[in-house]
Amino acid sequence: MRFTAKLIAIFFTMLAVSACSLPRGAAIQTEVLDEQENENPSFQVVEVSRSNIPDILTWPASGWHGHYHWPNTSTGSNSSTIRTGDRLNVTIWDSQENSLITNPGQRFTEIKGVEVDSNGSIFLPYVNKVGVRGLTSDRARSKIQQRLEPIVPSAQVQVSLEQGRDHSVDVVGGVENPGSYPMPSRNYKVLNVLADAGGIPPELRNPKVRLLRGSETYEISSEKLFADGSKNALMQPRDTLIVEEDDSSFVAFGASGKEDLIYFPKDNLSALEALSLMGGLRDARADPQGVLVLREYSAADIHSGKAGPDLQQVVFTFDMTNADGLFAARKFPLNPNDTVLATESPVANLRTILELVGSVVGVSAQTANLGP
């Protein structure tokens, strides 16, 4: 018995010294937040509840990038207009004998591939240069015919347009058939281009559609683009569309079913949805009263005159054991680059200690039974 008592005493002494370093998978909430009791803590702690969610929603966004504006939707003409670099095929019909513009026995002459020059004009025999830039094919035909009337009064003119490189749009990646697409009319819109390019493959994760127009960049998620007809923006010549997967992500860490870098499956994600993507809380390890979201704001967000954090680094805490915490987690928006930490339950440490005590007592009992 004295041997058993000594063994237990030694065990408890060692346990008292090493209790803080018992094997576990994550920190305890009190350990993470211990610094908040200091006079000048380096981070701010915010307990999230239904009462303060409206204020938190007014705080500056963090972690987001590429959130550009999107051009307004308008309606263009269903007819293409002539631009510099386009080519016109001009056919002139004349029924008169000995016409200036046709050979003997012919009733028409063709002038193919006349390029629109930098001044917006084309050159035609007998009428010199005719300005056609900005006109539709039909209006260009009327103008050419009017210029020919003093020379060939009976002439009838036909005009067809071959659009040049400056009258097309490019689709780069993220579609079935990337490439350059001529604009069939001025009423060519984003969804028309995506359809002509074969559409967005369904396996792309939360795809973003980026529009490059000169020095401007616009961006929208395909989810919003497809859901709202007012976002179907009119294309302009030389526009470029790029479709890419959204790279917004957060880090899942601690006593959860999954520890990993997790990408946003949709535009907006709540803290509760993030926990679901993490595989939930580990039943035997996690502290449901200690779910934390760690976020870092920019220096410009501090004391900017608007509602916001007091410090750049903020720890949001959630109590998932009551309705208030659960509803708050449903409303709390997760931002890219956040870290969601499921802390370890103190009970898990206690359980480990009790298991170790039980093991030692069992060993001691066996040792006593082996004695004389």
The answer to whether residue 361 is domain-embedded is no
Tell me: do 259 and 344 sit in the same domain.
Answer: yes
The last residue of one of the domains, among 162, 193, 223, is 162
Please give the distance of CA 365 from its chain centroid, rounded to a whole number: 63
Q: Rounded distance, CA 343 to CA 219, Å?
A: 37
209, 226, 245 - which closes a domain: 245
The tokens for 177 are 């058939």
54 phi and psi angles, rounded to 5 deg? -55, -40
- The strand ranges marked E within the chain are 44-47, 87-93, 108-115, 121-124, 128-131, 156-162, 168-172, 179-182, 207-213, 216-221, 240-245, 249-254, 260-263, 269-270, 286-296, 313-318, 333-334, 339-344
Domain span at residue 293? 29-64+248-351
CATH code at 216? 3.10.560.10
Query: 347 pairs with which residues across the strands?
Result: none
Residue 107 within any structural domain of the chain? yes
How far apart are alpha carbons 132 and 157 in whole angstroms? 14
Instruction: Please indicate, yes or no, whether residues 204 and 274 belong to a single structural domain of this protein.
Output: no
Looking at residue 316, its pLDDT comes to 97
Q: Convert 171-188 to b/e letters by CB count within 10 Å (16 or more is b).
A: bbebbeebeebebeebbb
- Span 298-327, pLDDT tens digits: 988 887 667 889 999 999 999 999 999 999
Least confident range of 99-108, 286-295, 322-331, 345-354: 345-354
With bands split at pLDDT 50, 70 and 90, how would you rate the model's confidence at 17? very low
The per-residue pLDDT for range 102-158, each reduced to its tens digit, is: 777 678 888 888 988 989 999 988 888 999 988 888 899 999 989 888 888 888 889
Q: What is the pLDDT of residue 332?
A: 97
Domain count, the chain: 3
How many CA atoms does the CB half-sphere of 240 hold within 13 Å? 9
The answer on 255 and 327 residing in a single domain is: yes
pLDDT digits (tens, 9 = 90+) for 174-219: 999 999 998 887 788 999 999 999 999 999 999 999 999 988 999 9
Together in a domain, 252 and 240? no
pLDDT given at position 19: 47
